[in-house]
Amino acid sequence: MKSKKIYDICETIKSLDPSQVDYQSAKSELKKRLPAITVHSCYFEGAKRTNDAAWYNGIAALEWDHLTEEEINAFQHVTPTDNIVLAGLSCSGSGVWFLIEVPNRDYSLMEATMQNVY
């Protein structure tokens, strides 16, 4: 990691004790200091922000949290493909994430799923 500031925040998050009462709030406050992106958003009635236009960019985020070291190491054997845009280790060090290109641009299934959820 090139940024010492980001590295230090991640190391502080890793050092937090999950058994402490204020663990989640401390972790949340530290994560707010990290850079972030919005990969894919849908806004519709009943959502937090209904006044923003939504569009789908063909990128989806996948994330697995609270993994064992063995499980994290298993992801190191994932072979990059044209569909994997970016991958990394979570800031806590106990999860992995992938940004993948979704080649099928048929949004009907996504829209149907969102209608059932919201």
For the chain, how many structural domains are there in total? 1
State the Cα–Cα distance between residues 3 and 84, nearest whole angstrom. Answer: 24
Residue 45's pLDDT is 55
Whether 50 and 43 have beta carbons less than 8 Å apart is answered as yes
Q: Residues 73-85, buried b or exposed e (16+ Cβ, 10 A)?
A: eeeeeeeeeeeee
Domain span including residue 61: 57-117
Within-domain flag for 34:
no
Query: Does 107 fall in a domain?
Result: yes
Sequential pLDDT tens for the chain (118 residues): 578 999 999 999 999 998 999 999 999 999 889 887 767 655 555 555 555 545 566 788 888 888 999 998 888 877 777 788 888 888 888 889 888 887 665 555 555 555 554 4
The H-assigned helical ranges of the chain are 4-15, 23-31, 69-75, 108-117
Q: Is residue 88 part of a domain?
A: yes
Does 76 map to a domain?
yes
Instruction: Evaluate whether residue 106 is within a structural domain.
Output: yes
pTM exceeding the 0.85 threshold for the entire prediction = no
Classify residue 85: in a domain, yes or no.
yes
d(CA 78, CA 80) in angstroms, rounded, equals 6
